[in-house]
Amino acid sequence: MSDDEKSPVAVAIRILGKDYMVSCPTGEQASLISSAKEVDEKMREIRKIGKIIGSERIAVITALNLANELNTANAQVAVIDTDIIKRVSELQKKVDSTLKRINSELS
């Protein structure tokens, strides 16, 4: 991989009508642009409600809301992981039991 492929690239994004140049790892531009669009949409929703004034406060509330969504999603993933582990363990026990039965019948 050449140094140019490792170098971050500058990506232009727009949030609440303001343009920003953000450094981004090569190949991650589409993800950054998508994230910026999501942040912009969330900030516009909060601004539309009208109770929060000022871009900085809107940004903080947006960040808190997104962090809460991430925490909720992570908790859901943990529950799903636990369920999958339990099911795989149960299947493993059934497979082991079946193999023991087959081996005893063949002996």
pLDDT at 3: 52
Contacts of 73 (CB under 8 A, 6+ apart): none
For the cut 60, the answer to whether the pLDDT of residue 63 exceeds it is yes
Q: Please write the tens of the pLDDT for every residue from 76-87.
A: 999 999 999 999
pLDDT at 5: 61
Mean pLDDT of the chain: 92
- Is this structure's pTM higher than 0.75? no
Q: What letter does residue 63 receive in the DSSP assignment? A: H
Tell me which of 3.40.50.2300, 3.30.160.880, 3.30.2320.20, 3.20.10.10 is the CATH number of domain 3-106: 3.30.160.880
For the cut 70, the answer to whether the pLDDT of residue 49 exceeds it is yes
Percent of the chain predicted with pLDDT > 70: 94
In our burial notation (b when 16+ CB lie closer than 10 A, e otherwise), range 79-94 reads eeeeeeeeeeeeeeee
Domain definitions of the chain by residue range: 3-106
